[in-house]
Amino acid sequence: MSVLGALEPKRVFKYFEEISAIPRGSENMEGIAKYCMDFAEKHSLKAVRDKANNVIIYKKAAPGYEKAEPIILQGHLDMVCQKEQDSEIDFMKDGIDLCIDGDFVKAKGTTLGADNGIAVAMILAILEDENLPHPAIETVFTTDEEIGMIGAIKLDFSLLSARKMINLDAEEDDSVTVSCAGGSDFKVSIPVTRQTKSGSKITVTLKGLKGGHSGVEINSGRVNADILGGKFLDRLNTEFDIISINGGDKGNAIPNNCTIEVFTNCPDSFVTEAERCLADIKAEITETENDFSADITVTGTGEYLVLSEKLKNDIILILTGVPNGVLAMSSEIEGLVETSLNLGILKTEDEKITLHHTLRSNKNSSLKELEGKLRAFFAQFDCTTESFGHYPPWEFKENSRLQKLYKETYRQQFGKEVKVEAIHAGLECGVFASNIKDLDCIAIGPCLFDVHTVKERLSISSANAVFKLLLKILEKSC
Angle (CA) 273-285-457 rounded to 5° is 125
CA distance 361 to 369: 10
| Catalytic (active site) residue 145 | yes
CA distance 95 to 24: 8
Which is it for the CA torsion 453, 458, 462, 467, positive or negative? positive
> What pairs with residue 49 in β-bridges?
55
Residue type, 254: I
Query: Based on C-alpha coordinates, what's the Rg of the chain?
Result: 24
17, 78, 146, 314: the active-site residue: 78
What are the DSSP calls for 291-340, one per residue?
T-EEEEEEEEEEEEEEE-HHHHHHHHHHHHHS--EEEEE-SSSTT-EEEE
115, 138, 144, 145: the active-site residue: 145
Is 440 exposed, middle or buried, given 0-12, 13-18 or 19+ CB atoms closer than 10 A? Answer: buried
Please identify every residue annotated as catalytic: 78, 145
